[in-house]
Structure 1
Amino acid sequence: MTSGDQKEQGQPDVRFERRGSVVVLVIDRPYAANAFGPKAVAEFRTHLEAVRQDRTISGLIVTGAGDRHFCSGGDVKAYSVFASPAELNPVFDDAREVLNELDLLDVPTVAAINGVAIGGGFELALACDFRVAHLSANLSLPQVRMGILPGWFATERLLSICGRANAKRFALSGARISAEEAHRLGVVDELTSGDVVERAVEFLTQFEGANRRGVAAFKRVVRELADNGREAAQHLERDVFAELWFHPERKR
């Protein structure tokens, strides 16, 4: 890698773009296979907060710069300096929290998988509500081959999306799964041979009428079901339903 392959110092690792009422967050580190390092994580969190504050936004798309990599996962070079769990955990916890924030964002979210989604990059895509992939893309969780586990809570998300057997196929094989096969397994929702971000924008149009309070409430109940089971989720759904029923902005 030459110095010319990298961006000028001070340039963002994550670009914030508007396409009408939709925001596109672009991981802009093609010289590093769009790795999601600590700086990108911090910028991503700032952008998510901006989305939460802007009520004119109706959807969010996550993608990678270029046409080779969606995201190659965590920045291994940045993480290689850690000497103990006490040093490692806070940095990984930041990424976990950001993916949880993405998971619970109050607008529909789509991962526009424009290329390879490896390890943490695949985990980032799983934290979105939906996944649209280019036909040339592939996805993999190679961590088990490295003697570790997915580090950003992919296990539960993958299990809920495609079931136990298919989740094991991804995680235990570590193999690269084509976009078409991932679609067959239920991990990818849409395939395209064209511009994957444009297709993701089109995909989001079906949710244009969604109320953001309703979106947030539904996601909370889904998360409660995953975390604490059916009874806890039903109690939460009951309480939130009553709260929203009497909200002054509810459509009547």
Structure 2
Amino acid sequence: MSFQNLLIENKGRIRYIIINRESKLNALNGGTLAELHLALTAAFADAGVGGVVITGAGKKAFVAGADISGFTALDVQGGTELSRQGHTSVFDLIAHASKPVIAAVNGFALGGGLELAMACHIRIASENAKMGLPEVTLGLIPGYGGTQRLPQLVGRGKALEMIMTADMLTAAEALQCGLVTHVTDIDSLLPNAEELMEKILSRSPKAIAAAIEAVNAAGTAGGYEKEIELFGQCFGTGDMKEGVAAFLEKRNAEFKGE
């Protein structure tokens, strides 16, 4: 599968999806979102892929927002459909994936770019990263999950401050408020993302998928019940039997995702 706006690279069980519009600071447009849907769907369906790392080409930007030029032709219905389609085809697809997805934020992650990073399960950033949601400067609000995911990560007050002021956070500030979990120099960003992903991939794939689903249910009315349900289901997996046997036999587990 070939793409115009993405580069796809494999390293072992890790699939890199690189947004490759460096001259446009990797801004999201309709074509890029469509390609992301195809690339992500293929990665999640590929048994040889254990996890995905998303990043942007170059050192200046992860994704510096959406392609604003296309907004002028949209009315209320068009804007609603733009948001709904993005949620369904890309952002929620990532958030609810059964395989781990890490955002390696290299430079600017603004608007839809930050929303893309927030849809990922884990975010790490380079020291030069700048993150923000500037939509109110355009007379808009975040439309790809930003108003929902940002409060979960940084708290309601900080989220409202970021959204209403449109101010950017530095990488250090993002780390302090919990928006990212690690900050590193730009040259170490992908190696660190890879190291983190390899550690995750050494664990049970069945348990990782269940953990993602359970954490996604956090804060909902059925969150605790979902955890109970998924915990119980783990007892029916080969991974659980292997993990317990390995622990009792004092050896490393060899999980098969069964």
Same fold (TM over 0.5): yes
Residue in structure 1 matched with residue 191 of structure 2 by the alignment: 198
Distance 1:91 1:146, change over 3 A: closer
Could you tell me which runs of 5 or more consecutive residues in structure 1 were left unpaired when the two chains were aligned: 1-9
Q: Deviations over 1:75-133 (max 9, x none)?
A: 21233322x22222223222112111101122222111111111110111111111111
1:187 aligns with 2:189: no
Identity of aligned residues (%): 27
Q: CA shift at 1:211, angstroms?
A: 2.6
- Which 4+ stretches in 1 moved above 4 angstroms? none
2:77 to 86, 91, 106: 86
RMSD: 1.9
Residue in structure 2 matched with residue 3 of structure 1 by the alignment: none
Residue in structure 1 matched with residue 214 of structure 2 by the alignment: 221
Q: CA shift at 1:217, angstroms?
A: 2.0
Residue in structure 1 matched with residue 66 of structure 2 by the alignment: 74
CA contact 1:113–1:131 (8 Å) conserved in 2: yes
Q: How far apart, in 1, do the equivalents of 2:200 and 2:118 lie?
A: 19
Q: Which secondary structure does the structure 2 equivalent of 1:239 belong to? A: helix
Range that drifts further, 237-246 or 114-123: 237-246
Q: How far apart, in 2, do the equivalents of 1:11 and 1:243 lie?
A: 38
1:95 aligns with 2:86: yes
Q: How far apart, in 2, do the equivalents of 1:249 and 1:202 lie?
A: 22
Residue in structure 2 matched with residue 5 of structure 1 by the alignment: none
Could you tell me which runs of 5 or more consecutive residues in structure 2 were left unpaired when the two chains were aligned: 243-258
Task: Within 5 Å, give how 1:40-51 maps onto structure 2.
Answer: 40-51=32-43
Q: CA shift at 1:249, angstroms?
A: 5.7
TM-score, normalization by structure 1:
0.87
CA contact 1:41–1:94 (8 Å) conserved in 2: no
Q: Deviations over 1:9-39 (max 9, x none)?
A: x952122111221111111111222111111
Q: How far apart, in 2, do the equivalents of 1:249 and 1:184 lie?
A: 36
Q: CA shift at 1:202, angstroms?
A: 1.6
Alignment-mate amino acid for residue 95 of structure 1? G
Q: CA shift at 1:214, angstroms?
A: 2.1
Range that drifts further, 211-220 or 31-40: 211-220
CA contact 2:132–2:167 (8 Å) conserved in 1: yes
Q: How far apart, in 1, do the equivalents of 2:39 and 2:215 lie?
A: 24
Q: How far apart, in 1, do the equivalents of 2:61 and 2:118 lie?
A: 16
CA contact 2:206–2:239 (8 Å) conserved in 1: no
Q: Which secondary structure does the structure 2 equivalent of 1:71 belong to? A: strand
Alignment-mate amino acid for residue 211 of structure 1? S
Task: Within 5 Å, give how 1:74-223 maps onto structure 2.
Answer: 74-82=66-74, 84-97=75-88, 98-195=90-187, 196-223=189-216
CA contact 1:71–1:116 (8 Å) conserved in 2: yes
Q: CA shift at 1:248, angstroms?
A: 5.3
Residue in structure 1 matched with residue 236 of structure 2 by the alignment: 246
Alignment-mate amino acid for residue 214 of structure 1? A
Alignment-mate amino acid for residue 241 of structure 1? F
Q: Which secondary structure does the structure 2 equivalent of 1:117 belong to? A: strand
Q: How far apart, in 1, do the equivalents of 2:129 and 2:230 lie?
A: 39
Q: How far apart, in 2, do the equivalents of 1:33 and 1:248 lie?
A: 45
Q: Deviations over 1:138-187 (max 9, x none)?
A: 11111123322111111221111111222223212211211111111111
Q: CA shift at 1:193, angstroms?
A: 1.3
Range that drifts further, 63-72 or 213-222: 213-222
